Chains A and B, each alone.
Chain A
């Protein structure tokens, strides 16, 4: 079966971002960019499905600027077979991305689509669910275990009180949680080989998708800073402060 994996280029998770002085957004100039950590887990899961003989082809897709080709090459080096970039310079909302992915899904007809549960930049946690709604497929969000059998997939999901398992008819949408797997590293020979794998570039216009949005970001501010705390010398002093100064116990 064919598996489609969506990946996003985001600021590296170790970078402490700074808000721009004019409050128009965060400063991403000269900041290290990487594949969103949840997307790495999605790629890894697809590769494992292929190694188990469940998946026959892995198509990886990204929507973003030309530079997102780097992240697609990374996914190819990790084991994806071919890549699609839907090139768009503007910042798209989750709904616009879901519509573009729906167009790619219609074109490619995968049996399983794997996405990360959220991107660590916008922290939206929407795209997978929206794609499922638009395509009319079942959704297995926050997956910690994925088992394909016949024409259905059993997804164990992380929920607030523990874990829940649902069975979905294929084709279906799965979004990954952190504990689904431990992503591998790309080896140097595979990075070299990935350069020769096919990478198709499309545009939203070519897919016939409008990316207009009902949301507008008015401004972006730094969060209120916490006032500096103090270091106490002993447990007794800590308890005294909590009781008499902070009055929280």
Chain B
């Protein structure tokens, strides 16, 4: 059995989610190869070769893969993937975009967002916004799988010494092109990788009030998230959204401030180790999942909390 892991990267650095995906591959068992597709990716390929447990790195360095457009990358992965038993990618926006296209090209069903490996062909994944866990078995020749990063502890980024092999294949479908991108800038830890997450909801009342959360987060070394209500109200940009349709997080500590706790929000955070809820409505559903609940006005509680930690 040989497993192909698609590296998550931005052409400059390897994203941490790749380490969780390699961890899932290690649980399946067998040789692990990592594919780095992009443009000017030699540093990323070198970083991938350092990952503990990786046997080989395939580097597809071509202008056609610069922005990882699925129309170009999926045929490459499908072509390379034919000889593998499993193809894995992190369930990031990139992985979700590319991998189903690979699965269809290989004529196999995909298994999305696995949270555990039961055996080489059986996996667990959440359905219905995390309200049920399905055990899925695949008899496909090549098993195509996306991995929920928070379900697996990352492997060490150092300690490996895999050989890097260049892949010459260039697929350019010529039906799509990159126009531009707008990335939100932040000095705080990345939301999905942070040990502590502080999230605000509609109860924050406006975007300006999020400064109280930022102050608390900076004191704790935490990332700041938000509920959909806060995003839709325009308080914060949408890449901060935690939930079924946003990001899935599982930090050591999740502090929900002014968030009622709708099913869709809980789907994104209920695997956190410790959940703290601060809400003035003591009937709010968030208190049913919170380890520690504080019924209080957040505008008094948050500054006080910031002083005490």
Contact = CB atoms under 8 A, between A and B. Distances in A.
Interface of A: 11, 13-14, 16-17, 19, 26, 93-95, 98, 117-118, 120-134, 136-139, 141-142, 144, 154, 157-169, 172, 177-179, 213-223, 226, 229-232, 234-236, 238-239, 241-242, 246, 248-249
Question: Which among B74, B102, B181, B253 has the highest number of chain A CB atoms within 10 Å?
Answer: B181
Interface string B175-190: 1111111111000000
Nearest to A99: B104
User: Majority SS of interface residues in chain A?
Assistant: mixed
Given A214-B140, A232-B292, A162 B239 contact: yes
B294 interface: yes
Contact of A125 (B69, B112, B264, B293): B112
A214 B104 contact: no
27 contacts: A117-B245, A118-B245, A120-B128, A120-B129, A123-B112, A129-B99, A130-B104, A131-B104, A136-B173, A138-B176, A159-B93, A160-B92, A164-B181, A178-B228, A179-B238, A214-B139, A215-B111, A217-B134, A218-B122, A220-B127, A221-B135, A223-B131, A229-B293, A231-B282, A232-B292, A232-B294, A249-B220
B16 to A, nearest CB: 12
Contacts of A236: 308
B306 to A, nearest CB: 10
Given A95-B104, A158-B239, A122 B127 contact: yes
Contacts of A167: 176-177, 179
B147 to A, nearest CB: 14
B136 A218 contact: yes
B138 A123 contact: no
B18 interface: no
B252 interface: yes
Contacts of B264: 13
Interface residues of B, number: 89
B181 A215 contact: no
B109 A230 contact: no
A95 B99 CA distance: 12
B133 A161 contact: no
A152 B309 CA distance: 54
Given A215-B138, A236-B308, A221 B273 contact: no
A123 B275 contact: no
B85 interface: no
B287 interface: yes
B231 to A, nearest CB: 8
Given A221-B135, A238-B292, A177 B108 contact: no
Interface of B: 67, 69-71, 74, 92-94, 96-105, 107-113, 122, 126-140, 173-184, 192, 196, 220, 228, 231-232, 237-239, 244-245, 247, 252-253, 263-264, 270, 273-276, 282, 287, 289-296, 301, 304-305, 308-309
Nearest to A235: B304
B274 A133 contact: no
The 7 closest A-B pairs by CB, nearest first: A129-B100, A133-B104, A130-B104, A214-B140, A126-B100, A165-B179, A229-B291
Question: Which among A218, A220, A238 has the highest number of chain B CB atoms within 10 Å?
Answer: A238
A133 B109 contact: no
A138 B175 contact: yes
Contacts of B177: 166-167
B101 A11 contact: no
A217 B135 contact: yes
Nearest to B222: A249
A118 B179 CA distance: 25
Contacts of B308: 235-236, 239
B104 A239 contact: no
A159 B275 CA distance: 27
Contacts of B100: 94, 125-130, 133
A126 B181 contact: no
Given A120-B128, A125-B96, A167-B179, A248 B274 contact: yes
Given A94-B109, A220-B134, A223-B132, 11 more contacts: A95-B103, A123-B126, A129-B98, A132-B71, A138-B175, A165-B178, A169-B175, A221-B133, A222-B131, A229-B291, A231-B287
A26 B239 contact: no
A134 B128 CA distance: 27
